[in-house]
Amino acid sequence: RKEVEQDPGPFNVPEGATVAFNCTYSNSASQSFFWYRQDCRKEPKLLMSVYSSGNEDGRFTAQLNRASQYISLLIRDSKLSDSATYLCVVDNFNKFYFGSGTKLNVKP
């Protein structure tokens, strides 16, 4: 079983839509969690950390459910510039495990 699993998508949504991605992880002892964004032919860039109580950064909301071992990312009011691949990342004792990424296409 993979350490981190994500729906690869693509999610094709119109501008202004709300879209949610989920990610599951296998190791219940995982310590910290992140969402990264990767544009085509670019390096991954940190979008946000995911905290146990959930956290929000502008249009982006991340949530963690330790009991069910999943992480979510909600994007509100999607912009064209949100089009990218979103990587779910789990930290197990200083070793990062990356999901395969969920591709988002925001269309005019």
Partner 1 sequence: SAVISQKPSRDICQRGTSLTIQCQVDSQVTMMFWYRQQPGQSLTLIATANQGSEATYESGFVIDKFPISRPNLTFSTLTVSNMSPEDSSIYLCSVRTGNSNQPQHFGDGTRLSIL
Cβ at position 18, least distance to partner 1 in Å? 25
Q: Measured from the CB of residue 32, what is the shortest distance to partner 1 in angstroms?
A: 5
Nearer to partner 1, 3 or 74 (CB): 3
Q: DSSP character for 81?
A: G
Q: Specify the residue, 17 or 97, whose C-beta has the smaller distance to partner 1.
A: 97
58 Cβ contact partners less than 8 Å away, ≥ 6 residues apart = none
Where does this chain bind partner 1 (CB under 8 A)? 31-32, 34, 41-46, 49, 87, 89, 91, 94-96, 98-101
Q: Is 82 helix (H, G, I), strand (E, B) or coil?
A: helix
How many CB atoms within 10 Å of residue 87?
22
